[in-house]
């Protein structure tokens, strides 16, 4: 890549930028669709509103040499899906962010746009779909099967043989016990301990975690 853009102008953009290592020098712009985001989160990198993206892109000579990183965190997996699909349709390339400070087993398989951030530990034979985030100091143990657009927040622990559907958010400091299956479109609140399978479209939290609502 000759140039990298970050889509998402809030706190997570700082995190992914910090995890880029030497590639930080390739970041040329931060984009965000939110008009309330008015200042770039990254020093010396301009913030550009999403409505100006096409104009910006038309000024580039080699579009296929531009990579993108989705700094859309929290439980916004479907937003990562839609923005990623749009940017790929414009012939940009999704970039993986694999921190030098992460510990990743040799046989991990990941989809496009994966983020494995500082201090995270990913065990043997773990598999990830597209645009997944394993945030700072999170742990994903052996044989995990993680669907598209999932986010494992800082300090969360997924023990062995976990299965997550698509668009699952695991809150900070949560623990999911071995061989648990979690459906799609699920939010697990921070600090929860998940001891049973969770159906799709659920909001759960507590110790032990219980269903508290629907997504």
Which positions are annotated as active-site residues? 142
Query: Are the C-beta atoms of residues 135 and 153 closer than 8 Å to each other?
Result: yes
75 is in an annotated binding site: yes
Question: Structure tokens of 168?
Answer: 């699952």
| Angstrom distance (rounded) from CA 145 to CA 163 | 5
Rounded to 5 degrees, φ, ψ at 89 are -65, -20
Query: Are the C-beta atoms of residues 93 and 1 closer than 8 Å to each other?
Result: yes
DSSP 22: G
| Angstrom distance (rounded) from CA 208 to CA 196 | 9
The string of DSSP letters for 83-143 reads HHHHHHHTT-EE--EE-TT-EE-TT-B--TT-EE-TT-EE-TT-EE-TT-EE-TT-EE-TT
Residues 6+ apart with CB under 8 A from 93: 1, 64, 66, 67, 68
Residue ranges for the known binding site for substrate are 75
Residue ranges for the known binding site for acetyl-CoA are 151
Residue ranges for the known binding site are 75, 151
């Amino acid at each position: 890549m000759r140039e990298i853009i970050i889509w998402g102008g809030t706190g997570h953009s700082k995190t992914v930028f910090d995890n880029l290592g030497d590639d930080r020098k390739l970041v040329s712009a931060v984009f965000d669709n939110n008009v309330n985001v008015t200042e770039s989160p990254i020093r010396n990198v301009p913030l550009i509103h999403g409505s100006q993206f096409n104009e910006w892109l038309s000024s580039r000579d080699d579009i296929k040499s531009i990579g993108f990183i989705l700094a859309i965190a929290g439980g916004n997996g479907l937003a990562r899906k839609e923005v990623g699909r749009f940017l790929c349709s414009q012939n940009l390339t999704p970039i993986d962010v694999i921190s030098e400070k992460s510990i990743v087993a040799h046989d991990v398989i990941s989809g496009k746009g994966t983020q494995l951030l500082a201090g995270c530990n990913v065990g043997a034979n773990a598999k990830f779909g597209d645009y997944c985030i394993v945030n700072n100091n999170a742990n994903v143990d052996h044989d995990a099967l993680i669907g598209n657009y999932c986010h494992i927040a800082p300090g969360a622990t997924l023990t062995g043989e976990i299965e997550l559907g698509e668009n699952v958010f695991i809150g900070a400091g949560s623990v999911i016990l071995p061989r648990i299956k979690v459906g799609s479109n699920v939010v697990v609140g921070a600090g929860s301990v998940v001891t049973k399978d969770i159906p799709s479209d659920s909001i759960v939290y507590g110790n032990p975690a219980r269903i508290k609502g629907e997504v």
